[in-house]
Structure 1
Amino acid sequence: MSNLDTWKQVDQYFIDQLIPADPVMENVLKANEEAELPSIDVSATQGKMLQLFVKMKAAKNVLEIGTLGGYSTIWMAKALPENGHVTTLEFNPKHAEVATRNMEMTGVRDKVEVIVGPALDTLPTLEGREPFDFIFIDADKNNNPHYIKEVLKLSKHGTTILVDNVVRDGRLLDSESKDKSIMGIREMFDLLNNHPQLDSTAFQTVGSKGYDGFVLAVVT
C-alpha cells in the first residue's frame, strides 16, 4: 500500500470516528465538482480543524482569503455565534457564485459576505472595520507574503492567522525553484522569521490531500 493510500484510509477512519456524516456538506463538494471547480478544497478533517479553531478563539469576526466553492467558509461559519460573521475574498466570479449558492443551501448565507476581486485590491477596503479574530489564507501562494502584510493591518493583539499549503510535497526546500508558488511561500517564511508582530510556527500534514502543511501565527 502506498503512503497516499494509507494517508487516505487514515483520514477516512478519522472522519468515520469523529465527524458525523453530513449530506449537506457532501452536497457542497458535489456542487463544486458539477461546476467544474478545481478539486482543491480542504479535506473534511481540515474543515473540522478550522471549525474548532474558530470555536477555540470564540471568534466573532473571521476573514478568509480564497473562497473557492465555500466549503471551508461554511465549516467556519457553522462555528460562529449568532452575531458572528465571515468575510471571504474570491478572485474568480464563477467560484464566488457557486460558493454563494452553497452558502444558501447550507443555511449560513446571512453570516457570510463574499467579496469578488483580487484580494490585494479588496483587502485595503476592509481597513477601518472591526479587527478580525481569525484569518485563514488559502489563495495564490505567490502572494502569501503580501497577504500577511495586508492582514496585519486588519488584526489586533491575539488575532490568529492560519496559512494553508506551505509545504507542497517538500518543494519549499528548493531555494533555486522558479515556481512562483514556492518562491512566495519561501518569501513568507523569510517575512515571518523574527517578525516583531507575529509569533509563528508551522506543521506538516499528510492525508487525503497528500503531503503539505500549515503556518500558524498569532499577532502579539
Structure 2
Amino acid sequence: MYETKNPQLTPELYAYVLAHNPPLTPTQRALVDTTHRELADVAGLQTAEEQGPLLSFLVRLTGARQIVEIGTFTGFSTLSMAQALPEGGRVIACDVSEEWTAVGRAAWADAGVADRIDLRIAPALETLRALPEGPWIDLAFLDADKGSYIDYWEELVPRMNPGGLLVVDNTLFHGEVTDPAAGGGAAAIRAFNDHVRADDRVDDVLLTVADGTTLARRR
C-alpha cells in the first residue's frame, strides 16, 4: 500500500478549504453560528460546514427533485439541499426532535425555502416504511443514529431511482473504524461499510470528506 496523498488537515488548511468553497449564504452562516451558540453541547451533530456546499453541488449535479434526509438536527444540511432544488422539488426531512428542528424551521422560513421541506417528526424507520414503495427518490442523505444505518439503507435503496444518489455521513467514525476493539457507533459503521461494499445494487465510493462521506449510485 502506498502512502496517502492527504495532507494533515491543520486549522490553517481547513480555513483555506472553507475559503475556497462556495461561501455560505447569510442564512446558512447564521444557522451554523446559532447552533454552536445555543446548542454548544450537541453542536457536533451538525453536518460539517464544508458539506453544505457539497450537498448543494450534488443536488444540482444530479438534478434531484425528490430528496429524503434521515437526521435533520438544526437543519443545516436540509437548508443546503433545499436551496439547490429546482422549482417543485421537495426534501422529506426525518427527525425525532421538535426542539432541534425548530431552529431549522426558522432558518428555512428566513431563506424562503420552507415550502420545499416536509419535516416529519417520528422515528425515521416508521417514516421510511410509510413512504411509497418502488423507485422515486433522486437523492438521499443519511446522517442519523449509526446503529440503524443498515436498516435505513435497506429502506432507501429499493426506493432510489436508477442513477439516484445516496450520501452517507460519518463513515469513518472519527477514525475508529480501523480499531477492531471499538464497539458502539464504530462497530455499527464498520458493519455498515461492509454491507455497502457487498451490495451489488449500487456503485459506491468512500471519501475522506469531513468524518468520512460515502457516495453510492443506484444501478
TM-score normalised per structure 1: 0.88
Aligned to 2:181, the other structure's residue is in SS state coil
Amino acid at match of 1:198: V
Residue 128 of structure 1 and its aligned partner are, at CA, apart by 4.0
**Higher relative contact order (Cα pairs below 8 Å, separated by 6+ residues):** 1
Amino acid at match of 2:147: N
1:196–1:27: structure 2 CA closer, same or farther, 3 Å change rule?
same
Does residue 33 of structure 2 align to residue 30 of structure 1?
A: yes
Which residue pairs with 2:171 in the alignment?
166
Q: Which runs of 5+ in 1 are unaligned?
A: 207-211
Residue 125 of structure 1 and its aligned partner are, at CA, apart by 1.2
RMSD of aligned alpha carbons: 1.9
Q: Deviations over 1:23-60 (max 9, x none)?
A: 22221123323542621322332110110000100111
1:20–1:176: structure 2 CA closer, same or farther, 3 Å change rule?
closer
In the alignment, the residues of structure 1 paired with residue 20 and residue 214 of structure 2 have an alpha-carbon distance, to the nearest angstrom, of: 26
Which residue pairs with 1:176 in the alignment?
181
Q: Which runs of 5+ in 2 are unaligned?
A: 1-7
Structure 1 residues 32-111: aligned runs within 5 Å: 32-36=35-39, 38-39=42-43, 40-111=45-116
1:18–1:198: structure 2 CA closer, same or farther, 3 Å change rule?
closer
Which residue pairs with 1:216 in the alignment?
215
In the alignment, the residues of structure 2 paired with residue 194 and residue 92 of structure 1 have an alpha-carbon distance, to the nearest angstrom, of: 33
Q: Deviations over 1:52-95 (max 9, x none)?
A: 00010011111111101111111111111111111110121211
Aligned to 1:175, the other structure's residue is in SS state coil
Runs of 4+ in 1 over 3 A off after TM superposition: none
- Aligned-pair identity (%): 27
Which residue pairs with 2:159 in the alignment?
154
In the alignment, the residues of structure 1 paired with residue 174 and residue 87 of structure 2 have an alpha-carbon distance, to the nearest angstrom, of: 39
In the alignment, the residues of structure 2 paired with residue 95 and residue 129 of structure 1 have an alpha-carbon distance, to the nearest angstrom, of: 31
- How many residues are treated as equivalent by the alignment? 210
Amino acid at match of 2:39: E
Which residue pairs with 1:198 in the alignment?
202
CA contact (8 A) 1:202 1:213 kept: yes
